[in-house]
Structure 1
Amino acid sequence: MTVAERIDAKLTAAFRPLELEIVDQSHLHKGHAGAPEGGESHFRVRVVAELFDGMSRVDRQRKVNEALREELAGPVHALSVEALAPDEAR
């Protein structure tokens, strides 16, 4: 299973998102410190879930980081998160 597939599975299980987009941006960081050969180290995620309704942006970020704790401790060097409640998604 790829890192992106693990991220997808964990965010889906944790948040039952209405929308989930995972973009591997590792190619943009090739040659930089923390960017291993083979990629799968830098990701951008957009997750829209009812669970985020009424939560602060910081709390949403914390929830996503908790769900991806293992990935953030290992193969993922950088993660950009956009976590939205359904009424905020456009």
Structure 2
Amino acid sequence: MTLAAEIRTALEALSPEALEVINESAQHAGHAGDDGSGESHWRIKIAAASLNDLTRIARHRAIHDALGPTIIGRIHALAIEIK
């Protein structure tokens, strides 16, 4: 399973109405944090009712918790856009 698929599967726990998982690693090739895997820099665009009543920090924590330490440990940069 690709890392993108793992991210999508993990975030299903938040019951998103909309979810985009975008690999931006190619834009950061040769920069700090580029481990050569092609899976180091990610952007998540998500809309989920489960996040609506949370503060911005709590939303980000919920996403990190859903992803878990195994996935988070494999990502150098994660941009989160909550709709």
Q: In structure 2, what residue type is equivalent to 1:43? A: W
State the 4+ residue runs in structure 1 displaced beyond 6 angstroms.
none
Q: In structure 2, what residue type is equivalent to 1:49? A: A
Q: In structure 1, what residue type is equivalent to 2:3? A: V
Aligned length: 82
Q: In structure 2, what residue type is equivalent to 1:52? A: L
Task: Tell me the distance in 1 between the aligned counterparts of 2:60 and 2:66.
Answer: 10
Task: Tell me the distance in 1 between the aligned counterparts of 2:44 and 2:52.
Answer: 18
Q: Any gaps of 5 or more consecutive residues in structure 1? A: 85-90
The residue aligned with 2:41 is 42
Q: Decide whether the 8 Å contact of 2:22 with 2:43 is kept in 1.
A: yes
Counterpart of 1:61 in 2: which secondary structure?
helix
The residue aligned with 2:62 is 63
User: How far apart are 1:62 and its partner, in Å?
Assistant: 0.5
Q: In structure 1, what residue type is equivalent to 2:37? A: G
Counterpart of 1:43 in 2: which secondary structure?
strand
The residue aligned with 1:87 is none
User: How far apart are 1:82 and its partner, in Å?
Assistant: 1.3
Counterpart of 1:22 in 2: which secondary structure?
strand
User: How far apart are 1:83 and its partner, in Å?
Assistant: 2.3
TM-score by length of 1: 0.85
Q: Any gaps of 5 or more consecutive residues in structure 2? A: none
Task: Tell me the distance in 1 between the aligned counterparts of 2:47 and 2:9.
Answer: 15
Counterpart of 1:68 in 2: which secondary structure?
helix
User: 5 Å matches for 1:20-35?
Assistant: 20-35=19-34
Q: What do you get for the CA RMSD once the two structures are aligned?
A: 1.0
